[in-house]
């Protein structure tokens, strides 16, 4: 068992999909990461910031799952980060309707003392400068640092993104972002270029088309579970990252073989996330359901061709 | 070992991709199917039609691979079916520049006597009326009938397509065509509806995103091999079908477990096809290369998560 430190947003989301819409509900990258990782009963903590408007009940949803929330600063005079978006009919594309940074604008992350030696560090999608600040507060270099990012930082903070990339072991990024970062269409070539930027492991998330893991000349693929209906994709990428990081924290095994398994656990967690609005499904997930879905993943992908 | 009967076009293609363009080269659905199936050293025959302009050398490329070409009618006074197309930069979409039916317009398929009891029948993409004519000539109902089709027939011959669908065991179709045929966006729901139209097995090809196999409540997925470069996708779908049908003919095992393996062999064959223009790669493929690529598919997809 390894300690897992998570940095990222804890936020309000308002979501519109073809199936309906929500008021302000619990969201944020660190929320989804933390909820997914909590399935593995690991020691974890979140570093984030919220405003005085953030319900104590939401914080309790996290602490009830044994997530250390002492690193979530509450700025009583401020407002919580808010994002709202509308998904198109294909559920693969969305428009951002509103982004209010609020307390996130001056976020000064503080790693709890007990987590300055965390073995696994999950840098959720945030300004790369903030991600660097967190990494710099670690007293012991983590055994594995995982970074998630997005196109916005490539457009506005590319130099800072390149700086932090040199220091991380794993990057999780979607296919369009991988292409944007490298100016390469082929994901195989893009992964190689990203590898040269720092990360030993490159995970390219393709949404409904699954996820690819690249490491040296090795490549591994986990499909997304074919679902009758994707209800709301919000948080699926963060949930993937949380399942990935949580499984590695639980097993403390950082071999390539086990990182492949972590990709399968990430895909498994993400397959639940999209079934309901926001974090609702992740808040009602049982170990038995996870077990059954892993069996579905095995049935989906495993075959018996003997090569002598 | 089962006998495999293939019906489909034997044709000329002219192809433009971002990497270059060809003059008239060997093409056609039955050509790609036959070449892929020939890797399994099965007894196979092609039913098709060509014109007097079709080089004897091209026919010899097929007969050299032990494909029975007695069912390929040569109409000396006619011209061979010709298709030309141009691929866009993403290689996923293409424009048809020209389609000349020529001798195909009056194609009257004749199944060789020795193949009227073939255990496996592969109905390549053609007018569903022609596919039905071939099926009706069989003296013994094949153990497995596989049908490939395309959006054109849904638009122009939907009633005839539905008629033949009632009589086939497997359909191979791409994702957009599955959606068009069923008016369903979810491929899981689309597969269920197609199942109700007749086929017990529904294979949905997603190009670079792999292929899904549906059977009752079971689903299996084979990724496409991530390639540095897709040079020319022409014939990849037919090559998939040929690998699928050829493997089943070789093994004569029609259990779901083995049909999963056939999907892997289909994907393996298709991964070669796209590496060169037209059928060039398939004409220079060795058993050793196939073996190595199957190992790559295992590395790509197989993992070790024990569920007790």
The pTM assigned to this predicted structure is 0.94
A210-239 residue pLDDT tens: 999 999 999 999 999 999 888 999 999 999
CA separation (Å) from A205 to A17, A91, A237, B147? Answer: 21, 15, 7, 33
User: What does pLDDT average to over chain A?
Assistant: 96
Helix axes B128-137, B158-165, angle to 10 degrees: 30
Residue A240 near residue A225 (C-beta atoms within 8 A): no
Separation in Å, CA of B43 to nearest CA in chain A: 22
For residue A201, the model assigns a pLDDT of 98
Residues with Cβ < 8 Å from B30, sequence gap 6 or more? B6, B7, B8, B9, B10, B46, B47, B48, B124, B238
Q: Does A223 contact B206 at a Cβ distance shorter than 8 Å?
A: no
Q: State the ipTM, two decimals.
A: 0.91
The domains of chain B, with CATH numbers, are 4-301 (3.40.1190.20)
For residue A299, the model assigns a pLDDT of 96
Q: Does B300 contact A220 at a Cβ distance shorter than 8 Å?
A: yes
A257-299 residue pLDDT tens: 999 999 999 999 999 999 999 999 999 999 999 999 999 999 9
For residue B191, the model assigns a pLDDT of 98
B46-63 residue pLDDT tens: 999 999 999 999 999 999
Q: How far does CA B181 lie from the centroid of its chain?
A: 19
Alpha carbon distance A163, A168 (integer Å): 10
A38-77 residues touching B, CB cutoff 8 A: none
Percentage of the residues of chain B whose pLDDT score is greater than 90: 94
Q: Average the pLDDT over A67-75 and give the result.
A: 98
Query: Testing the interface with B: which of A226, A251, A290 to mutate, by most B Cβ within 10 A?
Result: A226
For residue B237, the model assigns a pLDDT of 96
Alpha carbon distance B290, B287 (integer Å): 5
CA separation (Å) from A187 to A172, A205, B105? Answer: 13, 11, 42
A116-171 residue pLDDT tens: 999 999 999 999 999 999 999 999 999 999 999 999 999 999 999 999 999 999 99
pLDDT tier at A96 (50, 70, 90 boundaries)? very high
Alpha carbon distance B61, B69 (integer Å): 10
Q: Which residue of A has its CA nearest to B256?
A: A303
* B261 in A contact zone (CB under 8 Å): yes
Residue A213 near residue A260 (C-beta atoms within 8 A): yes
pLDDT tier at B26 (50, 70, 90 boundaries)? very high
Q: Does B226 contact A90 at a Cβ distance shorter than 8 Å?
A: no
For residue A89, the model assigns a pLDDT of 82
For residue A92, the model assigns a pLDDT of 77
Spell out which residues of chain B touch residue A255, defining contact as CB-CB under 8 Å: none
Q: Average the pLDDT over B158-186 and give the result.
A: 97
* A305 in B contact zone (CB under 8 Å): yes
B82-105 residue pLDDT tens: 999 999 987 878 899 999 999 999
For residue B306, the model assigns a pLDDT of 86
For residue B90, the model assigns a pLDDT of 78
pLDDT tier at B292 (50, 70, 90 boundaries)? very high
Residue with tokens 């979607």: A174
Residue with tokens 């044709």: B11
Residues pairing with B245 in the sheet: none
For residue A140, the model assigns a pLDDT of 95
**DSSP letter (8 states) at residue B143:** S
Instruction: Calculate ∠ Cα A132-A137-A141, nearest 5°.
Output: 85
For residue A93, the model assigns a pLDDT of 84
* B217 in A contact zone (CB under 8 Å): no
For residue A306, the model assigns a pLDDT of 86
Separation in Å, CA of A289 to nearest CA in chain B: 13
User: What does pLDDT average to over chain B?
Assistant: 96
Give the Cβ contact number of residue B103 at 10 Å: 23
Q: C-alpha dihedral over B165, B167, B168, B174, to 10 degrees?
A: 0
* B275 in A contact zone (CB under 8 Å): no
Percentage of the residues of chain A whose pLDDT score is greater than 90: 94
* B306 in A contact zone (CB under 8 Å): no
Q: Is the pLDDT of residue B307 over 90?
A: no
* B178 in A contact zone (CB under 8 Å): no
Alpha carbon distance B2, B24 (integer Å): 34
* A257 in B contact zone (CB under 8 Å): yes
Using alpha carbons, select from B241, B300, B245 the residue that is nearest to residue B273. B241
Residue with tokens 């059954």: A292
A19-39 residue pLDDT tens: 899 999 999 999 999 999 999
């Amino acid at each position: 068992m390894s300690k897992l430190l998570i940095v990222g947003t804890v936020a309000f989301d308002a979501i519109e999909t073809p199936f309906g819409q929500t008021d302000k509900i619990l969201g944020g990258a660190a929320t989804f990461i933390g909820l997914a990782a909590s399935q593995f009963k690991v020691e974890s903590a979140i570093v984030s910031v919220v405003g005085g408007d953030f319900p104590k009940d939401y914080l309790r949803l996290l602490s009830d799952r044994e997530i250390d929330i002492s690193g979530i600063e509450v700025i009583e005079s401020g407002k919580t980060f808010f994002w709202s978006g509308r998904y198109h009919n294909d559920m693969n594309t969305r428009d951002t309707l509103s982004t209010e940074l609020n307390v996130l604008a001056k976020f000064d992350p503080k790693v709890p003392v007990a987590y300055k030696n965390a073995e696994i560090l999950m840098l959720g999608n945030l300004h790369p400068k903030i991600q660097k600040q967190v990494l710099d507060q670690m007293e012991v270099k983590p055994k594995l640092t995982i970074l998630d990012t997005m196109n916005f930082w490539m457009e506005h903070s590319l130099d800072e993104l390149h700086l932090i990339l040199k220091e991380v072991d794993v990057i999780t990024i979607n296919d369009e972002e991988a292409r944007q970062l490298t100016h390469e269409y082929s994901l195989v070539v893009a992964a190689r270029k990203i590898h040269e930027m720092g990360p030993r492991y490159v995970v390219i998330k393709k949404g409904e088309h699954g996820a690819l893991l690249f490491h040296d000349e090795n490549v591994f693929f986990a499909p997304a579970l074919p679902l009758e209906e994707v209800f709301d994709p919000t948080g699926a990428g963060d949930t993937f990252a949380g399942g990935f990081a949580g499984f590695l924290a639980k097993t403390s095994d950082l071999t390539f073989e086990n990182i492949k398994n972590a990709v399968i656990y990430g895909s498994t967690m993400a397959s639940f996330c999209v079934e309901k609005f926001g974090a609702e499904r992740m808040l009602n997930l049982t170990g038995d359901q996870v077990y059954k879905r892993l069996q579905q993943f095995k049935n989906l992908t495993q075959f018996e061709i003997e090569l002598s």
